[in-house]
A and B are shown apart, each in its own frame.
Chain A
Amino acid sequence: AQTVTQSQPEMSVQEAETVTLSCTYDTSESDYYLFWYKQPPSRQMILVIRQEAYKQQNATENRFSVNFQKAAKSFSLKISDSQLGDAAMYFCAYRRDVQFYFGTGTSLTVIP
């Protein structure tokens, strides 16, 4: 079974600072995809970044980057220069074939 674990239910960061959200997953597969989604209070899930497991290079999208450690089955999200609009729930997700598996989320607070 594939499971995704987010061990930080809540995190906070000062505006303009950097924060890292952790995610680990369990799989016996070698070919899969990993995602970070953001869910603001509006409930709209928004894709932040994705990583293909076969790629060694860490994905980057502007202020968002990941640290993908395949052997350790770790997929952390780093948010640089945090902004007030980054405040939301962040979900880590694993995809194998058509199935997506989500973690329980990390609630990020950005302090002005």
Chain B
Amino acid sequence: GAGVSQSPSNKVTEKGKDVELRCDPISGHTALYWYRQRLGQGLEFLIYFQGNSAPDKSGLPSDRFSAERTGESVSTLTIQRTQQEDSAVYLCASTQRVLPDTQYFGPGTRLTVL
């Protein structure tokens, strides 16, 4: 089946604008993660969704960041009033019910804030 998909692939925005990033997990995957990867850095955990449970938002860097997920399907990550330090690749990953330790990643969205 199809892997994790993300859109847009690239996004350029002006400082102060809001952006919305989308993630389509693999069908049937109950868990979904968002990560931020700054240039030359590792992955920074942002938020985690598991089924219908309350999301783990402990990684969100500020209240300008929020995310939603409808059931076990699409998730959107919203960044309000973007700042230049928000420029990064935003990666989404989903995991299977049976093997929650294996993450399947999407190709990411490269966000550039001018």
Which A residues form the contact surface with B (CB < 8 A)?
A: 4, 6, 33, 35, 37, 42-47, 50, 91, 93, 95, 98-105
Min C-beta distance of B51 to chain A, whole Å: 12
Which B residues form the contact surface with A (CB < 8 A)?
A: 31, 33, 35, 40-45, 48, 50, 56, 89, 91, 93, 100-108, 110
Q: Is the interface of B mostly helix, strand, loop or mixed?
A: strand
Give chain B residues whose Cβ lies under 8 Å from the Cβ of A46. 105
Q: Are A44 and B50 in contact (CB under 8 A)?
A: no
Point out which of B33, B41, B89, B101 has the most chain A C-beta atoms below 10 A from its C-beta. B101
A98 to B93 Cα, complex, angstroms: 12
A4 to B62 Cα, complex, angstroms: 23
Q: Is the interface of A mostly helix, strand, loop or mixed?
A: strand
Q: What are 13 A-B contacts defined by CB distance under 8 Å?
A: A35-B101, A43-B110, A44-B107, A47-B103, A91-B43, A95-B101, A98-B48, A98-B50, A99-B48, A99-B56, A100-B45, A104-B40, A105-B42
Give chain B residues whose Cβ lies under 8 Å from the Cβ of A91. 42-43
